[in-house]
Amino acid sequence: MSSVLGTYARKAISFTEGKGSYLFTENGDKYLDFVQGIATNILGHCHEHLVKTIQNQSKKLWHVSNAFIIPDQERLAKRLTDNTFADFVCFQNSGTEATEASIKIARKYFHKIGKPEKNRIITFKGAFHGRTLAALFAASNPKHTEGFGPKVDGFDQVPFADHEAIKKTINKNTAAIMIETIMGEGGIKIVPDFCLRGLREMCDEHGILLILDEVQSAYRTGNFFAFEPSGIKPDIVPIAKGIGGGFPLGACLVTKKVSVGMTAGTHGSTFGGNPLAMAVGNSVLDILFEKDFLKNVKLKGKYFSQKLNRIKEKYPKIITEVRGAGLMIGLKLLVDNTEFMKKLMDYKMLTVKAEENVIRLFPPLIVSNNELDEAINKIESVCKDMN
């Protein structure tokens, strides 16, 4: 019997090696990995540049506390702010911590400007923001919150895409609206650009903040952030997953305006932003900033989606919708998604489920068209089998 606490229904398989888009078991079975952690390893498994970075940095310095200036942390923060809406970055270890920090920063801002009554956050049904108590009750998914009461107060939930409900819910106590730019666990549901602009307008009109959770979507759509095509500027953006390329790394990006409450001692992390993590984060950006890297993500995403749509048209009783942007893709199925995923595993391809009977496809951003074709063949084979 395993001594690991049973909080996961683990599949009876383990992997001993990974390279790019593939994982290998001890006995040499090769799997096409379109989960990549869960959307974390954006450069695939064991990317040469990241391997070298970890080798070199691990010989120099792993960890010092945030009581000291960490040059690579300064550099990563500067690179992130130079290329985004943000003025400051607060480093964490995970997405949950990054969303939790976002909530704290929003509340502290209003406290600092003399409006402490503005401390409630509007969130959306079907959202996922992480597993700490506040993040759990922010999303209020009964499957995740059951037995973990008392409820953490401070969140007002509205249905997804219901602008009227948001308008009705905003009151004198509202501090912010928090939403995933693309709802990941909820089923790869995009918040369209016109809605993002509508949310921004609503926030401006009421003097409240807009928090866009990009933990799952950052880098993956072929934009630095998924919200960028909308042209809006959020106030706070938590990121994680892809930004560490598989190394535990989270961050919260904020504007100068909302940062005013976060003075020395107001937040902290023992590990967040340590030299090893920062070296990796910088190396992920080295690749991401290479000429045409993000443009190619868009092109590959288009190529993949077009082929997936062709399968959908051929098997309308199996796939009802291809969702997503760039290389963050969901297939909404008419057959059971668990069954579909299992059959894909028989064809040696790994995917991950989401709500609304969706399976998510998270190829690494360095995936080749040949590997995308391989995925298409495997998906089509499963459709044929289940038709």
Binding site for ligand PLP (CB under 6 A): 94-96, 99, 128-130, 180, 184-185, 213, 215-216, 240
* CB 263 to ligand PLP: min, Å: 26
CA distance 156 to 4: 35
Q: Which residues are paired to 89 by β-bridges?
A: 253
SS3 212: strand
Closest by CA position to 153, among listed 170, 140, 171: 140
Cβ distance to ligand PLP smaller for residue 212 or 318: 212
Q: Which residue is nearest to ligand PLP (CB)?
A: 95
Cβ distance to ligand PLP smaller for residue 33 or 100: 100
Q: How far apart are CB 307 and ligand PLP at their closest, in Å?
A: 26
CB of 166 to ligand PLP, least distance (A): 19
CB of 316 vs ligand PLP, minimal distance in Å: 30
Per-position DSSP letters for 114-181, written without gaps between them: T-TT--EEEEETT----SSHHHHHHHT-HHHHTTSPSPPPSEEEE-TT-HHHHHHH--TTEEEEEEES
Residues paired with residue 91 on neighbouring β-strands, in sequence order: 251
CB nearer to ligand PLP: pick between 242 and 363: 242
Instruction: Using the minimum distance from each CB to ligand PLP, give the nearer residue, 209 or 215.
Output: 215
Cβ neighbours for 247, distance < 8 A, ≥ 6 positions apart:
50, 54, 276, 277, 280, 281
Q: Give me the least distance between CB of 121 and ligand PLP, in Å please.
A: 14
Tell me whether residue 132 or residue 381 sits nearer to ligand PLP (CB atom): 132
Shortest gap between Cβ of 355 and ligand PLP (angstroms)? 12
How many whole angstroms separate alpha carbon 185 and alpha carbon 195?
Answer: 20
Residue 223 or 343 having the CB closest to ligand PLP: 223
Q: Do residues 350 and 24 lie in contact, with contact meaning Cβ atoms separated by under 8 Å?
A: no
272 with 65: CB under 8 angstroms? no
